[in-house]
Amino acid sequence: MQKLFSVPDTDGYYGEYGGAYIPEMLFQNVEQLKEQYLDIMSDDSFKNEFNALLKDYVGRPTPLFHAKRLSEKYNTTLLLKREDLCHTGAHKINNTVGQVLLAQRLGKKRIIAETGAGQHGVATATVCALKGLECIVYMGEKDMQRQQPNVARMQMLGAKVIPATSGSKTLKDATNEAIRDWINNPIDTHYIIGSVVGPHPYPDMVARFQSIISQEIIAQLSSEYGVKSPTRVMACVGGGSNAAGAFYHFLDQPNVEIVAVEAAGHGVHSGMSAATTQLGVTGILHGSKSIVMQTSDGQVVEPHSISAGLDYPGIGPMHAHLFSSGRGVFMSATDEEAMKAAFEVSQLEGIIPALETAHAFAVLNNMKFGKEDLTVICLSGRGDKDLSTYMSELKLKQS
Ligand SMILES: *Cc1c(COP(=O)(O)O)cnc(C)c1O
């Protein structure tokens, strides 16, 4: 009986999506988490430690920046929520700080994680170093090549990076390896999932940790603009954690428009895409029922996106529900459009965004804005990790 868009029912369902579809070997682990996460998160000592680390370690609150030149171009007001200014360069660390503190309270000594672009791996390695915990990160072999700076950062932080060599050698395959590790080490290990995916309670837990993003947006809109809510909030969606965080406190306010942007790769119908809601059907992936890109006999389709963080054939169950209920507007941007948007944001605002983030900006051209609208865009991360991809585009332009 779930009526809110922001929280699932007690079994972890958002509408028809969610739940916990797990092998029996993981049952105890997931059950322990499910029984304890809300109690731990509402405990005062947990909240104090979490908030103190968000402030002094992560550097929150992150600014809500009025992008004047970009606003002028689209004849409206665009406000950028600067998650790129978080320690380690993306929103991912909000969740890893929370989950590491939670893992400690569950008595876990060993942390595993999957990573796509490497931002979640770096954030996990960072907080594990801070807390003196062993850290193992699974990463697709292809992603290790296209995100080399992040591989080096994880290694410098003392984490072990293990390549996933199956399938498309990207995020889906890294997730499979992490789940396999967890099954083999169910007692001492906590698996830090990096997005609002996986079996219940992960999607809800990660959304709650990331909800600090919209909590701050509300306070900033009130003090800086004298309003309670924006016209719309926009974010890119891989699994959907930065979007969940940016949307969270607005989901149950029907007057706020929710815009999610997926990666269309070479084009939605090109066969090289990661636009899950456009191509997927109801299915089960990595422990939850959601919308999944799969063949008619249930084989997961290999996705494609130029951005490693969006190169995933699924989407979190909250977003599947936002899509199928019509609460959210779902759009997509191709590799080429994202690349163009990355250069536009860099040269109009002096902010080099992550390739993932650039997808959220790439659809501005296709939207209609009112002059008086206030649009918040979640600037999920910075683009340092993508410089080699950006450089090859520069060379192409020059030749
Ligand atoms: C990981 C990542 C994403 C995609 O993950 P979500 O869970 O959908 O937020 C988007 N932007 C950046 C910068 C990332 O690192």
Mean pLDDT (the chain, rounded): 96
Nearest CA to ligand 1 atom 7: 241
Among candidate residues 310, 236, 205, 206, the one with its CA nearest the CA of residue 81: 236
The span from the CA of 332 to the CA of 262, in Å, is 5
| Confidence at residue 1, expressed as pLDDT on a 0 to 100 scale | 46
The span from the CA of 124 to the CA of 77, in Å, is 35
Same-domain pairing of 105 and 134: yes
Same-domain pairing of 385 and 329: yes
Q: pLDDT tens digits, residue range 27-36?
A: 999 999 999 9
For residue 327, give its domain range: 61-89+211-398
| Confidence at residue 2, expressed as pLDDT on a 0 to 100 scale | 54
Residue 92 annotated in active site? yes
**Residue 315 maps to which CATH number?**
3.40.50.1100
Residue 336 annotated in active site? no
Atom of ligand 1 nearest to the CA of 354: 13
Of 141, 175, 206, the residue that ends a domain is 206
Same-domain pairing of 168 and 118: yes
Catalytic residue among 114, 344, 349, 356: 114
Q: Which residues line ligand 1 (CB under 6 A)?
A: 90, 92, 117, 119-120, 195, 236-243, 309-310, 354, 356-357, 380-381
> Looking at the domain assignment, is residue 10 inside a domain?
no
Number of domains in the chain: 2
Check whether 205 has a pLDDT greater than 60: yes
Query: Contacts for 152-159 with beta carbons within 8 Å, 24 or more apart?
Result: 153/118, 153/122, 153/125, 154/118, 154/121, 154/122, 154/125, 157/122, 157/125, 157/126, 157/128, 157/129, 158/125, 158/128, 158/129, 159/121, 159/124, 159/125, 159/128, 159/129, 159/135
| Confidence at residue 393, expressed as pLDDT on a 0 to 100 scale | 86
Same-domain pairing of 78 and 157: no
Strands lying side by side in the sheet with 13-14: 13-14, 17-18, 288-292, 281-285
Same-domain pairing of 215 and 85: yes
Q: pLDDT tens digits, residue range 315-335?
A: 999 999 999 999 999 999 999
pLDDT, mean of residues 275-298: 96
> Looking at the domain assignment, is residue 6 inside a domain?
no
- List the beta bridge partners of residue 260: 235, 330
Check whether 125 has a pLDDT greater than 70: yes
Q: How far is the CA of 309 from the centre of ligand 1 (A)?
A: 5
| Confidence at residue 146, expressed as pLDDT on a 0 to 100 scale | 83
> Looking at the domain assignment, is residue 4 inside a domain?
no
Same-domain pairing of 266 and 390: yes
> Looking at the domain assignment, is residue 15 inside a domain?
no
> Looking at the domain assignment, is residue 100 inside a domain?
yes
Which of 83, 85, 88, 91 gets mutated to test ligand 1 (max ligand atoms within 8 A of its CB)?
91
Same-domain pairing of 114 and 243: no
Check whether 232 has a pLDDT greater than 80: yes
Same-domain pairing of 128 and 253: no
The span from the CA of 11 to the CA of 17, in Å, is 10
Q: How far is the CA of 345 from the centre of ligand 1 (A)?
A: 17
Answering whether pTM is above 0.85, one says yes
Residue 247 tokens, joined = 């949307």
Among candidate residues 377, 362, 367, the one with its CA nearest the CA of residue 247: 377
> Looking at the domain assignment, is residue 112 inside a domain?
yes
Q: How far is the CA of 399 from the centre of ligand 1 (A)?
A: 32
> Looking at the domain assignment, is residue 250 inside a domain?
yes
| Confidence at residue 382, expressed as pLDDT on a 0 to 100 scale | 97
Q: How far is the CA of 70 from the centre of ligand 1 (A)?
A: 22
Same-domain pairing of 285 and 267: yes
Of 172, 206, 240, the residue that ends a domain is 206
Same-domain pairing of 172 and 263: no
Q: How far is the CA of 241 from the centre of ligand 1 (A)?
A: 7
132 touches 100 (CB < 8 A) = no
> Looking at the domain assignment, is residue 14 inside a domain?
no
Of 180, 206, 232, the residue that ends a domain is 206
Query: What's the DSSP call for residue 25?
Result: G
Catalytic residue among 211, 288, 307, 380: 380
Which of 211, 236, 322, 379 gets mutated to test ligand 1 (max ligand atoms within 8 A of its CB)?
236
Which of 87, 242, 290, 315 gets mutated to test ligand 1 (max ligand atoms within 8 A of its CB)?
242
Q: How far is the CA of 203 from the centre of ligand 1 (A)?
A: 14
Of the chain, the percentage scoring pLDDT greater than 70 comes to 99
Catalytic residue among 34, 81, 83, 92: 92
Same-domain pairing of 119 and 84: no
Atom of ligand 1 nearest to the CA of 240: 8
Same-domain pairing of 226 and 129: no
